[in-house]
Each structure stands twice: as structure tokens, then as C-alpha cells.
Structure 1
Amino acid sequence: MLKHKITQEEKFQMMTTAPIPSLIGKMAVPTIISMLITSIYNIADTFFVSRLGTSATASVGIVFPVMAIIQALGFFFGHGSGNSISRRLGAKDTERAEQLAGIGFFSAFLCGLCVTVLGLLFLEPLSLLLGSTSTILPYTKDYLGIILLGAPYMTAQLVLNNQLRFQGNAFYAMIGITSGGILNIFLDPLFIFKFNMGVSGAALATILSQFVSFLLLLWGIKISGCIPLKLKSMKYLKYNLKIIAQGGLPSLFRQGLGSISILALNLAANPYGDAAIAAMSIVSRISQFAISALIGFGQGFQPVCGFNYGAKKFSRVREAFWFCVKVSTVVLIFIGITGFLFAGSLISVFRKDDLQVIVIGTVALRMQCVALPLSGWVIMNNMMTQTIGKTFKASLLAAARQGIFFVPAVLVLPPLLGILGIQMAQPVADICAFLLAVVINRSIMKEMKEEEKAYE
């Protein structure tokens, strides 16, 4: 049963007075489901395409940087407008919240349209730039050419998803994202095998499913009592775009550098053949599935953080942060142990007939599982700094895991250690990002206490 429509005042009271554990649980469960379903889009494509062969499997990994760019733009405008909206609602500034909502949505759609046009104009050069070998190239072009058609609404739907959850309506965000993900799982085998469309069928299933999500999220905005999306609300563009940029830059760095990191990984694996690219592609999907659950939990924390920070309830911000760190670390330890023990079985689910893919992927996955528990600390610090408007520190931390530390690691380690350098690049980057987060956390907590004293 759908939840009843609540007023902005009721949302404010809920966010600023409800017990932290139950409140974050209420916010986090739908966002965790939403993020897991988002990952399922990529996992489903990888799983079903893997039945077509190693080169076809690799093509999905090759295209992932473009998917990451689309997601980066969506999260840039979605997080940038969403966390600012939550702070404005916490301060009871509804007019500014309406402006941010409209500008965030329509700007994202326009940027997605630009990605479509430019991507299709330079489809083959882009496919080669992404790391396609001669055997992978035909699959990449077929898959990417269709994915690009959905870029405008794929970008805009991420804005809708984030605006819904930042306003305390994660339930409707979950409905929109989950419906599309489930549809994708059914459409993939239908288009790939029944209609004999191959990788093109996987791409078509993805963009059709995401279009359904887009429509459902628009519906969710309309019926949930959220800030409406209106062209006439697009006022003070320069000022509001600056606010969105400040709030969205960490997400742009996090997702955008995710694109660059996968590109660097594909290029580093290229000399070792299609099996290496396919193996690392599979590992990326599996590890991203675990990280997406963690990000979903952090996204449940963000509206609580934003509302209470805007309302000057700093003690609740700190309480919520430490609660999330403790819970996420315990869960990630369990996931890491499980993933380490069953790494070979997980890889073989995708390519059981290719022993080389299984061997390469098993070692890489086990290494990432060892460092996985550190990610809770890194991501929760990133979520907090971004939501309270500490743009530079949030952007630095967002860029750390898959940019500042990963790209140098994947460039330096393989020439020294061969394929082992590729396999260990991500855990090395995770350890370095953890240490950086320790330093940033100390400064943020100090600043927050100073703000609290000044407000009192």
C-alpha cells in the first residue's frame, strides 16, 4: 500500500525529532533497494551477455565508463539539488527549494541530450578510446549505440530519484527504480535470445526499463507531496547553479572518476587479452553491487543529515553519522568474508566455461574483499561532508577511491607486477582513501563543534 501524502511540516518534525536508528532505517531500506536494483541493470546485462562469449562480455565492461558518465551527470544535478533542497526545507525556505528542484531536473535532461548527440556522432572513435580490441569493437558499437539513446531520461531519472529521497520520500524513489530493474531482468533474455538481438537486445532492454523508471519517478514526485518541477521556477540560474555545483561536485568526482578508473583498468588489462578485460569487468560488477548497498545506506543518512544540519541540530548529525559507520563496517566485514570464501564460484556464475577468466577474477575479487570493510568509513564521511556543504573536502574524498589513488595505482603497478598489479590496484586505493578520510573526519568534526558553539 502506498504511503499517505505528508506535509512539509510533518517531514520536518519527523527528520528533526524521530529516534536516529529507526529514522535512518526507514530512510535507508528503500535507498538500499534502489541502489541494488540500479546495480542489477549492469549485472543482468553482464550475466546474460556472458552467454554470448568472452568478447561480448568484455564489451559490457568497455561501455561501463559511458554509463558512469551518464550516472555522474545525474548524481551531480540530483545530489547537488537534493541535498540543498533538504537544507532549505530544514530552514523552511520552500521558494528556494522549488528553484533548485526545477533547475536540477531540466539541466540534467539537457546534459543527457548532449551526451546522446556527441556519443552517436563519434561512436566508433569513442568505442576504440574506451579500450575495445578488434574482436570486442563490433559488440561495443552495437551496445553503446543503443545505450546512448536513453541518456537524457537516464540522467534525469537520477535527479528525480535523489530529489525524492532527500525530501524524505525514499519509498516512491524505490518504487520507480525497482520496477525498472525487475523489468530489465525479464527483458534481457527475451531480447537477447528469443528475438536473437544479441548485445543490442541487452542495451534495448536497459533503456526501455529505465524509461519506465523515469515515468514512475515523475509520478512519484507528483503524488508524494514533494517540491514540484516547474519551468517557471527556474529563476536566479547563475546563483542556483552555483549552489547545485557546490553540492554536486563530490558526486560528479565520485561517479566521473569511476568512469575514468574503469577506462584506465580496461586499458591496463588490454595487453592481457579479452579474458583479462572480461574478468575485471565481472569483478567490477560484483564489487559495485556490494558498494551500491553501502551507498544506499549512506543515502538514507543524507536527508537526516541535511535536515538536522539546516535546523542547527548538530548533535543529531553526529549521532546519525556514527550510527551509520558502525552498522556499515559490521555488515561489510561479513560481506567481505563471504565474498573471499566464494570468489571463484561468483566469477564462474558469469563465465564458467573460461578458466582464464575465473582464475584472474578470483584473485582480484579476493583482494577487494579484504579491503571492503574500510569502505564504510570512507563513504559515510563522503556523504556527510557533501550533505553539509563542505564542497572541497567532500570532492577530495569523493575523488580519492577511484581517482586520486586508483588511477596512479593501475598505471604504476601493472608494469611492475604484471596482471597482479591490475588485481591489487583497487584494494591499494581503498587503503589510501581510508587514511585520507581519517584526516578529513577530524577537521570536519572540529568545524562542526565550532559552528555549534557559535550558534549557541
Structure 2
Amino acid sequence: MNKEERITMLREAPIPQLLLKMGLPTMIGMLVTGIYNLVDAYFVGGLGTSQMGAISIAFPLGQAIVGIAVMFGGGAAAYISRLLGERKNEEASHVASTALYLSLSVGTVVIIFLLCFLDKVIWGLGATETIFPYVKQYAMIYVASSIFNIFNVTMNNIASSEGAVKVSMTAMILGAGLNVILDPVCIYGLHMGMIGAASATAVAQIITSIMYLSYIAKKKSIFNFSPKEIRFESKIFREIFKIGIAVLVFQLSTSVAISLTNMTAQPYGDAAIAAMGIVTRVITMGIYAVFGFAKGFQPVAGYNYGARQYERLQSATKIAVKWTTFFCILMTLFMILLPQPVISLFTTNDASVIKIGSLALRINIITFTFYGMEAIYSMLSLALGKALGGWVLSAGRQAVFFIPVILILPKFMGLNGVIAAQPVADIITIIIMGILAAKLNGEIKQKACTFVGRDDPSCCLYKTLRD
């Protein structure tokens, strides 16, 4: 599909067909990434409980680094979609190039800083004496190679914003697929252990970067990605950071939440840390799938909002919520019915890990039922440039609500408090999300009525005034 066809599709394709074309590729790509995380845990888990605990400790560190790319890429993507809807392609190109080069520059500085203070960072993330050496081996390579992941994630967001979702899907599948193949080869075949796991990830990220560079070099994108396109303009920075910082807060709060979970689980031993790490990765797989679909929904929402096609926006939102909620219900039922076999996949028959993990999975998966609605309305808020809604939904679930809960509950409930912390925070987030969803729907309906005119009989305001 060429550049013009992608724009025409966003403007004119039937909504169900458009959501499938935009949402399914990104959903599949993110789902494959989630499956990779599980497979990675499966192979590392075969090395032992402490090694499994090590990647649980390193996981939030990777999430925090990727937060840089999500801030620039996600913030730019929301703005780019609206600009394309307004047919301001040249301005959109400036935004894309500025976001890409800034993410790489800031990412390089952060990575160097982390490598200089890596030992202190690892201890701060909740490592135990037995887990520390394995985390150190893994994190040295994992952190250093993250510059490629920053490039990949930034490009993924920008490519999705212009409707090139198949490119994003192919890149994610290629990276995850290579990782799955290289993991057993490096870990067991070459007897590299934790170093092998990190090396497999690094090689996969490099290959994915090469694919995105090819996409740019062959000029398949609407944008040029030339340094000459960079614009240090306050308006561009304001629009990128207005949304990007909200997304960064979500990414960083996720890292903080995982780190706090590890730290509060630390007194209960390596088995507790490993079990909570497994549960996090299993549920993250579902979150990746839903977030992937929501990511495909974002350019649909942003473009049609910018083009003032409010009825298409309303229709797309309703359908997206229905589809993602159905997926969440199915996954919840599956995990509630089969928690033990799922947890058993990621441990070498450690009875303590299986017992803790099975209970934690059952309890934590219940609130996942509402994650589809949360993801769609969060993405809708960001796509429309509504920073407040993005801030609340991004920071609420894993920071504002989670942090006090995870710090308080374990003091009264012990390990059960660690397990129950996320569901409690989720319940509060769901209530807030319902209020914001109603407000967003009302604002879009108001704009639709104002745009068509109050004298239009199809307008809700006209009917209200007439009655």
C-alpha cells in the first residue's frame, strides 16, 4: 500500500474494515512481542529460580529505557495523526524527524548514565545476594544494546501514525521471532547462560533496526527523516511533550510498580520474586495484545478528529471497545481456569513458585476484564491531544493508585498484600476511567453537533432543543 492509499484508507474505509487493517497488524506484532517475553522467561527459567528472578529484576530497567522512545515516538504519533487529518503533511514530517533524532540523543545519554551506575541501580531494583550476579551479567548487554530498541520503538510509533501498520507488525514479528530462535541457541547450545539471553535480545534488536532503516532508505514513508527536517519550535515540543510525558509517566510508573513489587516480595525469597515476575509477564502478554490494537486505533482516532469526521470517530471508538473487551474476557476466563499449568511452564518444578504464582495469577487477572476499555479511552484521549485524560489513565494505574497500595497492603497482609496490590489499584483506575470515558464521549458528541449545525435533524442537540 503506497502513501496516498494509506491516507485514503484512514479517511474513507468502512470503520470495521479500517480497524481490522490498522488494529490487527499492531495487535499481532505486540502479541508476538508478549509471547517472546514469555518464551524468554521459559528458557531462562530452565536455568534456575535465581536466574528467573534476575530477568524479573531487569525487566523494569528495560521498560524505563524504552520510556524515552515511547515519550518521543508516542507523543509525536498523536500529533502526526491529527496533522495528516488536517492535510499538513510537511509539518508532520518535521515532527517525525525531530522526535526520532531527539529520542536517539536523549537515549544515548541515559544509557551511558545507567552503565556508569549499574550496580547501584540493580541493588535499588530489589536484587538479592543470590540474584545479583545473574542480573549484572544480563543487564550489561541488555542496557548497552537498548539504543537499538529506542530507535525501533520510536519508528514503530511514527510508522503506525502514518498508517504503515504492516511495517510495524513485520518488524516486531521479525525481532521477536529471531529472539525466540536465538535464545535456546545462545543460552544452552553455546552454553552462554544469562549472557546468551541478553545477546540474543541484542542481535534481534539490531536486525529490527536494519529493517526500519531499509524502510526509510527506500522512501516508503511519507516522511524524509532527514536532519534538515528537525525543527526546534516551541509548538512541536509542546505537542510532543503534552502527550509524550503522559506516556513516559505510564512507562516509568510501570517500571516503578514492578520494582516495588520485587522489593516488597524480597523478604519472602527468590521464589516470590520469580513467581510475581512470571505473573507480570503473563498478564503483560494480554496487555501487549490489547495495547497493540489500541495503537492501531490511535491514528484512526487522530486522523478523523483532525479531519472533523466525528461520526466515524464515534463509531470507531464503540467498535474498538467492544472488540477489546471481548478479548479481555476470554483471556481472563482462560487464566482463572488454568493458572497452575501456565505458571508451571516457567519454572523447573519449584513448588513454591507454582503455588504463589497460581494464586497471584488468578487474583491479578480478574481486573484485566476492563483493560480493553481503559486502553481504548486512554489512546483516544492521547490521540485527541487531551493531556489530562492521558495523564490520569497513564499515571493512575501504576503510580498514583498502585504505589501507596503496594507500600501499605503488605504491612497488614504480608505476601497476600503484594499479590492483591495491583487489582486494588486497578479497581480505582476503572472507576476514574468510567468518568473520563463519559466526559470524552460527551465532548465528541458536542463537537459533532456543533460541526453539522444545530438545525440538522440528525443532531442530538437539535432533538434536545426541539423537544
User: What one-letter code is carried by the residue in structure 1 that aligns with 2:258?
Assistant: I
Correspondent of 1:148 among 143, 148, 165 = 143
Q: What number of residue pairs does the alignment pair up?
A: 451
Alignment of 1:26-425 (within 5 A): 26-221=21-216, 222-425=218-421
Whole-Å separation in 2 of the counterparts to 1:92 and 1:284: 41
Task: Give ranges in structure 2 of 5+ residues lacking alignment.
Answer: 453-467
Spell out, residue by residue over 1:166-213, the C-alpha distance to the aligned partner (whole angstroms, 9 max, x if none): 111100111111111100011111111121111111011101101111
Range with greater deviation from structure 2 (240-249 or 254-263): 240-249
1:350 aligned counterpart, secondary structure: coil
Spell out, residue by residue over 1:120-148, the C-alpha distance to the aligned partner (whole angstroms, 9 max, x if none): 10111111011100110001111111111
In angstroms, what is the RMSD of aligned CA positions? 1.3
Cα deviation for residue 223 of structure 1 reads 4.3
Whole-Å separation in 1 of the counterparts to 2:40 and 2:206: 16
Whole-Å separation in 2 of the counterparts to 1:208 and 1:334: 34
1:52 aligned counterpart, secondary structure: coil
| Partner residue, 1:15 | 10
Whole-Å separation in 2 of the counterparts to 1:247 and 1:95: 21
Whole-Å separation in 2 of the counterparts to 1:269 and 1:237: 46
- Contact 1:111 1:152 survives alignment (8 Å): no
| Partner residue, 1:445 | 441
- Contact 2:34 2:286 survives alignment (8 Å): no
Range with greater deviation from structure 2 (232-241 or 270-279): 232-241
Cα deviation for residue 89 of structure 1 reads 0.7
Range with greater deviation from structure 2 (217-226 or 178-187): 217-226
Spell out, residue by residue over 1:47-88, the C-alpha distance to the aligned partner (whole angstroms, 9 max, x if none): 111111101100001011111112211111111111211111
2:224 aligned counterpart, secondary structure: coil
Whole-Å separation in 2 of the counterparts to 1:343 and 1:250: 33
User: What one-letter code is carried by the residue in structure 1 that aligns with 2:55?
Assistant: V
| Partner residue, 1:25 | 20
User: What one-letter code is carried by the residue in structure 1 that aligns with 2:451?
Assistant: Y
Cα deviation for residue 352 of structure 1 reads 4.0
- Contact 1:164 1:226 survives alignment (8 Å): no
- Contact 1:414 1:421 survives alignment (8 Å): yes
- Contact 1:81 1:163 survives alignment (8 Å): yes
- Contact 1:89 1:97 survives alignment (8 Å): yes
Whole-Å separation in 2 of the counterparts to 1:236 and 1:109: 16
Spell out, residue by residue over 1:305-346, the C-alpha distance to the aligned partner (whole angstroms, 9 max, x if none): 011000011111111111111111112111100111111000
- Contact 2:364 2:420 survives alignment (8 Å): yes
Whole-Å separation in 2 of the counterparts to 1:190 and 1:237: 48
Cα deviation for residue 37 of structure 1 reads 2.5
1:364 aligned counterpart, secondary structure: helix
- Contact 1:102 1:229 survives alignment (8 Å): yes
Spell out, residue by residue over 1:246-288, the C-alpha distance to the aligned partner (whole angstroms, 9 max, x if none): 1212311221110010011011101111000000000000000
Whole-Å separation in 1 of the counterparts to 2:443 and 2:398: 27
Whole-Å separation in 1 of the counterparts to 2:121 and 2:165: 36
Whole-Å separation in 1 of the counterparts to 2:71 and 2:113: 19
Cα deviation for residue 439 of structure 1 reads 0.8
- Contact 1:58 1:277 survives alignment (8 Å): yes
Task: Give ranges in structure 1 of 5+ residues lacking alignment.
Answer: none
Range with greater deviation from structure 2 (306-315 or 149-158): 149-158
User: What one-letter code is carried by the residue in structure 1 that aligns with 2:310?
Assistant: F
User: What one-letter code is carried by the residue in structure 1 that aligns with 2:75?
Assistant: G
- Contact 2:6 2:164 survives alignment (8 Å): no
Q: TM-score, normalised by structure 2?
A: 0.94
Range with greater deviation from structure 2 (55-64 or 41-50): 41-50
User: What one-letter code is carried by the residue in structure 1 that aligns with 2:425?
Assistant: A
- Contact 1:382 1:398 survives alignment (8 Å): yes
Cα deviation for residue 103 of structure 1 reads 0.8
Whole-Å separation in 2 of the counterparts to 1:105 and 1:276: 39
User: Higher Cα Rg: structure 1 or 2?
Assistant: 2
- Contact 1:103 1:237 survives alignment (8 Å): no
- Contact 1:112 1:154 survives alignment (8 Å): no
1:264 aligned counterpart, secondary structure: helix
Correspondent of 1:434 among 423, 427, 430 = 430
Range with greater deviation from structure 2 (317-326 or 37-46): 37-46
1:319 aligned counterpart, secondary structure: helix
Spell out, residue by residue over 1:82-134, the C-alpha distance to the aligned partner (whole angstroms, 9 max, x if none): 12111111101111111111011111111221222011101111110111001
Q: Percent identity?
A: 35
